Amino acid sequence: MRKSTRGKVLPFDYPFTDARSAAAFETLFTGLQKFNPNLTEPVMSDIATPCIHVMFKPNEIILDYGEICEYVYFAINGLVTSLEKEDGKEFNCWFMSDGDVIIAIDSFFMQHRSTERLVALASTECIALHVEDLNMLREKHPSFAFLELMLTRYYYQQTFNRTKWLRKDVKGKYKMLKTHYPELTQQVTRSALASYLGVSREHLSKIVQEEIAE
């Protein structure tokens, strides 16, 4: 039996009768076309049919430790963090916001239990697709398979670029974060950013003040 998604599921009947769902899917369609402009209306119709429109409240868990990530979430708006545990301590390992693809990477691709927890940091609106529906779309439409390839390449490049930050000190990492992801430094709390950077909130506050003073 297919596992249901967490969150509040909203009406999503296709063809659309609900304006909010129509607007959310149009946002998704526009975002996906950036990665593959050749997506046709029939393909998008097949994508829309199994979609789920879902809302998460602030601090609501999207995926918990030990669960299998069976859905990919396309963020229409909002803010989500990925958390992991090390030596009994939980830390933020990345953040996802408007237009991002939200998954627990290893769990989703391997379909095994997650070592991550995905949590909404703000009210977050998503369009979700189950992994079985993704497999069907990939097999049916070559253009969708190409879309997946482009998305995977895009996020791989982002992740690879962030690995270069490891050579920098905390101040350097914060500058890179501010340069490449300025919206995150505005949206994410100081405590969550400090957790991601591996320092105390007080240490990060000092770095921010030094940045302002420069």
Q: Quick one: 173 and 118 in the same domain?
A: no
Q: What number of CA atoms fall less than 13 Å from residue 106's CA on the CB side?
A: 11
Q: Quick one: 13 and 81 in the same domain?
A: yes
Q: Quick one: 113 and 207 in the same domain?
A: no
Directed axis angle between helix 131-140 and helix 142-163, to 10°?
120
Residue 2 in domain? no
Residue 50 in domain? yes
Q: Quick one: 65 and 152 in the same domain?
A: yes
Residue 3 in domain? no
Q: Quick one: 154 and 112 in the same domain?
A: yes
Q: Quick one: 140 and 200 in the same domain?
A: no
Q: Quick one: 61 and 28 in the same domain?
A: yes
Please report which helix (H) or strand (E) contains residue 155, including its range.
helix 142-163
How do the pLDDT tens digits run along the chain, 214 residues long? 567 789 999 999 888 988 999 999 999 999 999 999 999 989 999 999 999 999 999 999 999 999 999 999 999 999 999 999 998 899 999 999 999 999 999 999 999 999 999 999 999 999 999 999 999 999 999 999 999 999 999 999 999 999 999 899 999 999 999 999 999 999 999 999 999 999 999 999 999 998 877 7
Q: Quick one: 86 and 187 in the same domain?
A: no
Q: What is the pTM of this model?
A: 0.94
- What are the CA-CA distances from residue 105 to residues 17, 19, 63, 121 (Å)? 34, 32, 12, 19
* pLDDT computed for residue 1 by the predictor: 52
Q: Quick one: 106 and 174 in the same domain?
A: no
Q: Quick one: 65 and 145 in the same domain?
A: yes
CATH number of the domain encompassing residue 144: 2.60.120.10
* pLDDT computed for residue 41 by the predictor: 87
Residue 155 in domain? yes
Residue 1 in domain? no
Q: Buried (b) or exposed (e) across 134-165, using 16+ Cβ within 10 A?
A: beebeeebeebeebeeebeeeeeeeeeeeeee
Q: Quick one: 153 and 172 in the same domain?
A: no
CA-based end-to-end distance of the chain: 58
* pLDDT computed for residue 212 by the predictor: 78
Euclidean distance between CA atoms 13 and 144, whole angstroms: 21
Residue 42 in domain? yes
Domain containing residue 59: 8-162
Residue 61 in domain? yes
The count of domains in the chain is: 2
Q: How many DSSP H helices and E strands does the chain contain?
A: 9, 9
The vertex-25 CA angle with 9 and 189, nearest 5°, equals: 70
* pLDDT computed for residue 213 by the predictor: 75
* pLDDT computed for residue 88 by the predictor: 87
Residue 128 in domain? yes
Q: Quick one: 42 and 94 in the same domain?
A: yes
